[in-house]
Amino acid sequence: MTLEELYQENYPIVYGYLLSLCGSKAQAEDLASETFLRAIQKPGKYDGCCKPSTWLCTIARNLFLNEQKRQRRHVELDQAGQVCVPDCSERLLDHVLAQEIVQAAERMPAEMRQVFCMRTNGMRFREIGDALGKTETWARVTFFRIKTRILEELED
């Protein structure tokens, strides 16, 4: 697979994942570009044990977390409580329901939000587990718990 094919096939996945993490198109584009730059600089790091998109999403996640750490050092205390929320309204027909789902997801712990974001962006459970350093079963159980929590909140 050429570099161009790798980029063409995986950019939408990496960009969508980063967009769901940070909520900012500009930041997602910057981090996606940095992800592919890192992948090109260190091609030997890819051992072929997972799909290229999983490997790239792992790089993207690490870049995002590093950026979050860097920003926390420079953010004033009143801004420290901001949360990245996935934009699910484009995927759902009912805008009101989408907003309620986003609000419910916003109240979840960070790791659960990541699983929610990855799954709603089309990643498979195995890819989610690989990207987060967990098992496929862990990803399935976590996503089931997320759905259960969201449904409980929507019923209330």
> What is the reported pLDDT for 74?
57
CB contact set of 41 (below 8 Å; sequence gap of 6+):
none
Q: Which two tokens stand for residue 107?
A: 């109240």
CB 31 within 8 A of CB 57: no
> What is the reported pLDDT for 90?
41
Instruction: Quick: pLDDT tens for 101-145.
Output: 778 888 888 888 888 888 888 888 998 999 889 999 999 999 999
Domain ranges, residue 139: 87-156
CB 101 within 8 A of CB 150: yes
Boundary (domain end) residue, out of 66, 84, 102 = 84
Boundary (domain end) residue, out of 84, 115, 141 = 84
Q: 43 and 113, same structural domain?
A: no
Q: 54 and 100, same structural domain?
A: no
The segments of the chain whose pLDDT lies below 50 read: 75-81, 83-93
Q: 122 and 73, same structural domain?
A: no
Q: 91 and 79, same structural domain?
A: no
